[in-house]
Amino acid sequence: MAGAIIENMSTKKLVIVGVILLLFQAFSFMVGGLIAPSPTTAVHYLATKCVDTVKHHQSTKWFMPWGPNQCDKIRDFDEAMAKKIEANNIVFAVHIPLPNKEMSPWFQFMLVILQFDIAFKMYNQIEDGALATIDVGLAYRDDTLSEWTEMAHSIEQRKLSCNFTTTKTYENEGRYYECDLLPFMELGNVAHKYYLLNIRLPVSERKKINMGIGEIKDIRLVGIHQNGGFTKVWFAMKTFLTPSILIIMVWYWRRITLMTRPPVLLEKVIFALGLCMTFINIPVEWFSVGFNWTWMLLFGDIRQGIFYAMLLSFWIIFCGEHLMVCLFTFSPT
């Protein structure tokens, strides 16, 4: 019969369709489990303490933690006190990635998490609701010889949430607080090979900046990015499956139009849901490998929002149709 889709399909055909879909699903799981590497990688970084003299105290100067043009470094703050170096002249420098490695556009995104190593001191404890003010500069370059180009600069505040698990006595001075990880930054794409972070902790007693945050010993960062091998497998799967979904949609709508009656609301919603699914699976991420598109994360969120909104609409209409059928079937005559 023209227009029959599922209702008039024989049991044999339904079983064949179900087996084919199950095989596709099993194949996808096998590819993800056996071929693709882990989705993300976390890399730990320990910031290097660089010294910025007054005559060079300007935002255009970038401090490298290692390499031929590395900065003047100090081991700890005791050395800074011995050399009479002020806290405002100390810059925490972090180079991403580690030495002899490069970042790649295949990494897709980079999420950086911040953690402070704070030592307990009786005379310098962390106050309740303490805010850490961070002056951050981010720069990039694509080879080891060119100059650093500023990418972003911002002064941020992060609320410290730290616990000292032992008794607060003089005997326990020097032990570290247990502090929660803090969100630091996120890049929507990784278009450059090298990144440099310069972090300052400005101190001002008059403005109450970075007062009551304890004795910070070190700054640690955790960089999380998507693995390049996973990205390639992911792109390949999306490129393969998108035409398949399009073919199914064309077949479905063609069968709908062959019916003698016009399409009902539920059939239209199913087709719209298929369009949203196709939209979310279109592999536009291929362009992010060759172009510096910083809005890819936002675009991905928009696509997911459209799909989930359409999925919610489908379930509302489907449940409404089901309730109407039940009421019509069991209504008294």
Domain boundaries of the chain, sorted by first residue: 1-35, 40-226, 230-330
Q: What DSSP state is assigned to residue 68?
A: T
* pTM confidence score: 0.79
How far is residue 66's CA from residue 77's CA, in Å, rounded to a whole number?
Answer: 19
Residues of the chain with pLDDT under 70: 1-9, 54-60, 325-333
Beta bridge partners of 196: 95, 139
Using N-to-C axis directions, what is the helix angle for 228-257 and 265-281, rounded to 10°? 160
pLDDT of residue 58: 55
CB 174 within 8 A of CB 80: no
Domain 40-226 is of which CATH architecture? Answer: Sandwich (2.60)
Task: Give CA torsion, residues 282, 285, 286, 291, to 10 deg.
Answer: 140
How far is residue 140's CA from residue 147's CA, in Å, rounded to a whole number?
Answer: 9
Neighbours of 213 (CB within 10 A): 22
pLDDT of residue 2: 46
pLDDT of residue 221: 95
